[in-house]
């Protein structure tokens, strides 16, 4: 049939080394949206900047193996993207986080930018895997929506009722690890996708990407579990008000916001604290209680939250001073281990002075 000539067999290794028909325009777009210069990519690829430039113009092309490295290791993009006929439409960070000032976005680390774009890719992936329909039987974001004008108490009670987890169940969890797992599973059962990663940036505890069908919360698993729990509900509040958001340690930028953007950021922090430690129940717990370090530790363990959350509640009730709050929360943030319940520093409160 072939005249006696042998047909050459091409092995997998040879195929992987062949030049491939990718889209140079998408390759350049991926580098630019990652905020990287030609020389930076060249260094990581072990090439010169001229070679990367030729790949982006199509005058030369990377091998399959090189394209895989660019996609997965450097640009944090799915490989299939580089075969698209044109760069995909994608929300900018300013569009995704409309309550975050541009100045805050500009000072974000490159790793944070990559994590956010990785989350955007994951959002696309889970959408495609589920044929663009959330498989959850009950979708929290479709059933409940709020505005910055919604009373906090109404928002808390409606979400509590919807998730059907009362304080008795919350108190029964043996530790914060179980609490984090249960809260995460509960929200995922109601259509919220939650992912964890090491942010390599302590300035941020979490962020979320709004989408009615496939909302995503991304939490920094380098932070304590109590912080992760708080961050989940901070971001949930953003999603319930139809926005993406970032849970940052330094919230001074909120002072520069105006109108609804400012109201949303303030409400998100208040919602997390009020949801995890409902005010009416908390008021009963601290009635006639002397506000001491062991008491704060005990309340934090009971509600499965950080001591900082408890201190914030006490500050709001004017049971501790701003100075006490600032000094203790700063100390707790820098501690490597939880404070001993036997500490000898006592906080002043209106009750302990009577």
Give tens-digit pLDDT for 243-266. 999 998 888 888 888 888 889 988
Q: Based on the domain organization, do 254 and 285 belong to the same domain?
A: no
Task: Give residues with Cβ within 8 angstroms of 158, minimum separation 6.
Answer: 144
Q: Based on the domain organization, do 222 and 314 belong to the same domain?
A: no
Q: Based on the domain organization, do 297 and 149 belong to the same domain?
A: no
Alpha-carbon distance of 314 to 280, in angstroms, equals: 13
Q: 98 in a domain, yes or no? A: no
Say which residue, 168 or 98, is predicted with more confidence: 168
Alpha-carbon distance of 215 to 65, in angstroms, equals: 33
pLDDT in tens, 233-247: 999 999 999 999 999
Q: Based on the domain organization, do 123 and 165 belong to the same domain?
A: yes
CATH of the domain at 60: 1.10.260.40
- In the block, tokens 């944070």 appear at 112
Q: Choose the final residue of a domain: 257, 276, 295.
A: 276
Q: Based on the domain organization, do 125 and 247 belong to the same domain?
A: yes
Confidence of residue 163 (pLDDT cuts 50, 70, 90): very high
Q: Which residues pair with 19 in a beta bridge?
A: 63
Q: Based on the domain organization, do 297 and 151 belong to the same domain?
A: no
Q: How many domains does the chain have?
A: 3
Q: Choose the final residue of a domain: 276, 300, 315.
A: 276
Q: 339 in a domain, yes or no? A: no
* Parent domain of 289: 279-334
Residue 136 clears pLDDT 50, i.e. is over it: yes
Average confidence score pLDDT of the chain: 85
Say which residue, 250 or 39, is predicted with more confidence: 39
Q: Would the pTM count as exceeding 0.85? A: no
Confidence of residue 18 (pLDDT cuts 50, 70, 90): low
Whether the Cβ atoms of residue 293 and residue 347 lie closer than 8 Å to each other? yes
Torsion of CA 194, 195, 199, 205, to 10 degrees: 10
Q: Based on the domain organization, do 31 and 152 belong to the same domain?
A: no
Q: Give, in degrees to the nearest 5, the angle at Cα 89 between 88 and 95.
A: 145
As a whole number, mean pLDDT of residues 91-116 equals 81
Alpha-carbon distance of 353 to 195, in angstroms, equals: 46
> CA 63, 65, 67, 69 torsion: positive or negative?
negative
Alpha-carbon distance of 182 to 159, in angstroms, equals: 15
Closest CA to 268 of 157, 155, 190: 155
């Amino acid at each position: 049939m072939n005249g006696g000539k042998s047909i050459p067999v091409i092995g997998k290794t040879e195929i992987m080394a062949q030049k491939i028909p990718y889209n140079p325009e998408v390759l350049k777009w991926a580098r630019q949206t990652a905020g990287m210069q030609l020389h930076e990519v060249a260094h990581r690829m072990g090439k010169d900047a001229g070679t990367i430039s030729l790949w982006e113009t199509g005058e030369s092309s990377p091998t399959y193996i090189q394209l895989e490295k660019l996609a997965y290791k450097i640009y944090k993009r799915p490989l299939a993207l580089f075969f698209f006929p044109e760069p995909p439409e994608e929300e900018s960070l300013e569009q995704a986080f409309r309550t975050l000032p541009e100045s805050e976005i500009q000072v974000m680390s490159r790793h944070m930018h990559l994590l956010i774009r990785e989350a955007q890719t994951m959002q696309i992936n889970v959408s495609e895997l589920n044929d663009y329909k959330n498989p959850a039987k009950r979708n929290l974001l479709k059933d409940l929506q709020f505005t910055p004008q919604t009373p906090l108490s109404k928002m808390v009670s409606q979400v509590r009722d919807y998730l059907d987890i009362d304080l008795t169940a919350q108190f029964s969890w043996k530790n914060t690890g179980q609490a984090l797992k249960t809260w995460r599973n509960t929200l995922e059962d109601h259509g919220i996708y939650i992912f964890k990663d090491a942010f390599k940036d302590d300035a941020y505890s979490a962020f979320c990407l709004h989408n009615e069908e496939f909302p995503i919360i991304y939490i920094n698993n380098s932070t304590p579990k109590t912080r992760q729990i708080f961050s989940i509900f901070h971001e949930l509040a953003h999603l319930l008000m139809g926005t993406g958001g970032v849970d940052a340690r330094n919230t001074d930028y909120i002072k520069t916001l105006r109108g609804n953007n400012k109201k949303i950021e303030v409400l998100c922090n208040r919602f997390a604290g009020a949801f995890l430690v409902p005010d009416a129940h908390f008021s009963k717990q601290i009635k006639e209680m002397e506000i001491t370090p062991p008491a704060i530790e005990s309340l934090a363990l009971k509600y499965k939250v950080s001591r900082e959350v408890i201190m914030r509640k006490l500050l709001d009730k004017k049971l501790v001073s701003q100075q006490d709050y600032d000094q203790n929360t700063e100390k707790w943030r820098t501690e490597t281990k939880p404070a001993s319940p036997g500490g000898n520093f006592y906080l002043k409160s209106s009750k302990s002075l009577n």
